[in-house]
Structure 1
Amino acid sequence: MTATTLMVQGTTSDAGKSTLVAGLCRVLARRGLQVAPFKPQNMALNSAVTVDGGEIGRAQAVQAQACGLAPHTDMNPVLLKPNSDTGAQVIIHGRAVANMEAAFYHDYKRVAMTAVLESHARLCRQYQAVIVEGAGSPAEINLRDRDIANMGFAEAVDCPVILIADIDRGGVFAHLVGTLELLSESERDRVAGFVINRFRGDIALLQSGLDWLEARTGKPVLGVLPYLHGLHLEAEDALPREAQPKPAASFRVQVPALPHISNHTDFDPLRLHPRIEFEYIGPGATPGPADLIVLPGSKSVRSDLAWLRDQGWEAHIRRHLRYGGKLIGVCGGYQMLGNRLHDPHGVEGAPGSCDGLGLLALETRLEPHKQLRNVAGVLALDGTPVRGYEIHAGVTEGAALTRPALKLEQGPDGAVSEDGQVMGTYLHGLFDSSVACDSLLCWAGLMDAATPDYDALREAGIDRLADTLEQHLDLAAIDRLLGLD
């Protein structure tokens, strides 16, 4: 079997590339086509564990779900996880190979491109169609040399490109025309058409602009997608932009928006819960009273712990606990709860150690080898089933582990404080199961939580997106580009 490849590139980050790819994957899968998602290079701190035991960007896991597939490392062969302003952990075919500064990675792109083309070729042999997501914008001049994420990849595999732009940002025609102007002639020829995303209003008032755009560029507008209020798809990286109106919310949950927050999709079931007033607390904000505080994962735990202290969170947490509030730490947040944190190998920065928050009697040592696995078990609180995944480099030891938070098939995980107010775990996806979320919220003080079915909500979001594409996108043109007509 040989697949046909179609690539979606954007005029900016967050233009809607991930969303369009997920929607196209579901539309094609509905027809019974064997389709797979692909992103050559992703830079994101939201990731997922794959069926082959590796790590890829969260957006590609969502796109795999849209295809009815288990996520695989070939769907995102290069993942960059920033751990500073100038450096990132480089993950190739699901495995961390090194921490690299940006200049060094630029030279390493030749190696990364080999991995990208190997993965794409394997997918092409297995599927009828491969829908590819670009990264950022193809018009970032400083990144054009040795590009593997946008036109460099498209040119290498000779595939057509759809260019998507977000009209809600303003300047959509400048974004589209300006992007084309900054491409080479062969790259411009490769752009098969435009999609305008997040439109609100009367389409008739936009028509003159669409006519001008097609006349100016000689390329068709393949669709104008409406702004889908309340659409939920797990985010590639950025924290959610829209607040959820909650008339019945009475239970307050706070999560500090750490500079290197990772896998914040862990908290989507809480953020979307109709009875929870959920808040990410950013820099400079003063957190008010809460019922539950959750310390999230982090790609740079010692650095983010120092940020927490600088922002006054240590005093806020201790006051929260004195007044009877509950506290959960997930992954990096769990490591922060201990007495000490050691990074002797410089896994997340300069080698060294620091004091933790001292709320659990344990210490963590970061090791170069990362634990990657999908897991299942029960909550130690009451035996409620729980499932999720682990992505961490920490080895945690200490007396607190005699009171585990979870009992997994692989063994005990995490810890609960002697007074029962503080819980830590390495499990991502802790709240995804409705029954587990109900149990944890009950422990934290919210009785009869009646947590909505998060799996069903995710499926409904993908289906709603596919329905929208079937109504507003020129799917006949998409079929022609994929050779399916």
Structure 2
Amino acid sequence: MAKAIMIQGAGSNVGKSMIVAGLARACLRRGLSVAPFKPQNMSNNAAVTIDGGEIGRAQALQARAAGRAPVVDMNPVLLKPETDTGAQIILRGHRFATLRARDYGARKHELLPAVLESFRNLAATADLILVEGAGSPAEINLRAGDIANMGFAAAANVPVILVGDIDRGGVIAQCVGTHAVLPEADRDRIVGFAINKFRGDVTLFDAGLAEIVSRTGWPSLGVMPWFDAAWRLPAEDVMDISSRKGGPFRVVVPRLSRIANFDDLDPLSADPQVSVDVVESGRALPGDADLVLIPGSKATMADMAHLRAQGWDIDILAHHRRGGHVLGICGGYQMLGREIIDAEGIEGRPGRVAGLGLLDVSTRMEPAKRLSLTHARDRESGADVEGYEIHLGRTTGRDCAQAWLEIDGRPEGAASPDGRVRGCYLHGLFAGDRFRDAYLRRLGAAPSDIGYDAIVEQTLDQLAEHLERHMDIDLLLDLARPVG
């Protein structure tokens, strides 16, 4: 019979996703069959599953750590923010509704049966289910109808480990404060705690651990030092996107307000020949870029307006006039064309906006979303690429005749006549070592022989070893409870 345990945070971004990934790999190495599960996630960085849906990218990484292919049951509810007050609701891999935050709060209890069904489906396939919470259970104003933290834990009868983030400061208050504000029934579900992101000599926190144990009655599962190699793993949270200083080849990325599926940046950041410069709002795009990469967007027309508001359209056009190269992926591809048309108001208000005009194509938004794990071939180098498509809209025009990719015999993407501007809908291109090396060398980069997949696998093993050294995994497994 499968057992389950839930990792909840004393705050947001305490490292829950990373800990679950590390535990999944550590338990796999111990010979257990493991499955990750997150009842509700909020992210515009999604992964396509083998059963044709989408889930949060963190759960896809956790599935990889567990030696499994990702499926929709691993993240049955995914919220994809479209505005500051509303989000698209993905239920078991597919669009359920688009709701304002207030309306979602009133309806989220309707989703609990589907969440519990997904949980039971996974439990039938594994020895251990590692459940990840969202945000913090201390947000007791959100407890009614909750499906992400204690609401799920109560419904599924799953014990909880609380994780605090010492790097932010105030970790004793994080843990003790959570104990103080939780109602008794929820407080009793917490069976232990751990401290994450410690820098320096962990024994210096011995007295702090003793205080938390004394004031809560919870046993400590350990203090985890800062894991320096975390940046080598694909990031899910938009707050984790950062510049990475590497080699002389410079890739400049405007940070869009609704940036989505930005995992295309991860293999570039890992390449020692490449420096990735993520440019924040209010800052001009550097003039010495070798490549300007416009990433995906959850709301292309809104991000086109954001790009113009920053003056980045002027910077990109100037870069192009200087002979520079530009690549747009998914929403970025749509922005490179002459116009974007949303007659039905799929992404917001109906209308049309002018694009950058660097490709002779236009995009029309359509209700049907394309979700596909995709095998492609780079026509120039002949390199095979394993990627995924996840987008609304259809792009057509003269420059599609210069398609530079091929998917199952059909052309994909568009290029300017001189080849310096390219776009496509295929995410995951740069994870392919042969393609990445060939593409960057065409633009003047030095040859690279890194294996990106090998880096991710090695880092997951290092993360597992890190937790084995610093976390009491034996106690965690003892605290896990059979799934009823």
TM range (shorter): over 0.9
1:132 aligned counterpart, secondary structure: strand
CA offsets 1:115-156 (integer angstroms, 9 cap, x no match): 111101111122111100000111113311100000000000
Q: 1:281 aligns with which of 279, 282, 287?
A: 279
TM-score for the superposition, normalised by structure 2: 0.97
> Per the alignment, do residues 98 and 451 of structure 1 end up closer, same or farther by CA in structure 2, a change over 3 Å counting?
farther
Are the aligned partners of 2:159 and 2:190 in contact in 1 as well (CA < 8 Å)?
Answer: yes
1:419 corresponds to: 418
Structure 1: distance between partners of 2:120 and 2:211: 39
CA offsets 1:98-122 (integer angstroms, 9 cap, x no match): 2111111112212211211110111
Are the aligned partners of 2:336 and 2:359 in contact in 1 as well (CA < 8 Å)?
Answer: yes
| CA drift at 1:325 | 1.0
1:466 corresponds to: 464
2:235 corresponds to: 235
> Per the alignment, do residues 120 and 331 of structure 1 end up closer, same or farther by CA in structure 2, a change over 3 Å counting?
same
2:198 corresponds to: 199
> Does structure 1 residue 480 correspond to structure 2 residue 478?
yes
Aligned length: 480
| CA drift at 1:296 | 0.3
Structure 2: distance between partners of 1:483 and 1:260: 39
* Correspondences of 1:254-269 after superposition (within 5 Å): 254-269=252-267
1:53 corresponds to: 52
What code does the residue aligned with 1:100 have?
L
Structure 2: distance between partners of 1:115 and 1:235: 27
2:431 aligned counterpart, secondary structure: coil
1:368 aligned counterpart, secondary structure: coil
| CA drift at 1:244 | 4.1
CA offsets 1:19-76 (integer angstroms, 9 cap, x no match): 1111111111112211100000000011100010100000000000011000000000
2:453 corresponds to: 455
* Correspondences of 1:140-159 after superposition (within 5 Å): 140-159=139-158
Are the aligned partners of 1:266 and 1:431 in contact in 2 as well (CA < 8 Å)?
Answer: yes
Identity %: 49
Are the aligned partners of 1:325 and 1:444 in contact in 2 as well (CA < 8 Å)?
Answer: no
* Correspondences of 1:306-455 after superposition (within 5 Å): 306-409=305-408, 411-448=410-447, 450-455=448-453
1:43 corresponds to: 42
2:83 corresponds to: 84
Structure 1: distance between partners of 2:380 and 2:415: 9
CA offsets 1:78-110 (integer angstroms, 9 cap, x no match): 000001000011100100122111111112212
Which ranges of structure 1 fall in alignment gaps of 5 or more residues? none
Are the aligned partners of 1:239 and 1:264 in contact in 2 as well (CA < 8 Å)?
Answer: no
Structure 2: distance between partners of 1:98 and 1:483: 34
What code does the residue aligned with 1:477 have?
L
Structure 2: distance between partners of 1:141 and 1:395: 43
2:349 aligned counterpart, secondary structure: coil
Are the aligned partners of 2:381 and 2:435 in contact in 1 as well (CA < 8 Å)?
Answer: no
2:270 corresponds to: 272
Structure 2: distance between partners of 1:344 and 1:243: 36
Structure 2: distance between partners of 1:172 and 1:419: 56
Structure 2: distance between partners of 1:293 and 1:197: 36
1:367 aligned counterpart, secondary structure: coil
TM-score for the superposition, normalised by structure 1: 0.97
Structure 1: distance between partners of 2:443 and 2:113: 49
> Per the alignment, do residues 242 and 173 of structure 1 end up closer, same or farther by CA in structure 2, a change over 3 Å counting?
farther
CA offsets 1:298-328 (integer angstroms, 9 cap, x no match): 0010010111111111111111111111000
1:336 aligned counterpart, secondary structure: helix
Q: Which has the higher mean CA deviation after the structures are superposed, 232-241 or 144-153?
A: 232-241
Structure 2: distance between partners of 1:469 and 1:328: 39
C-alpha RMSD of the superposition: 1.3
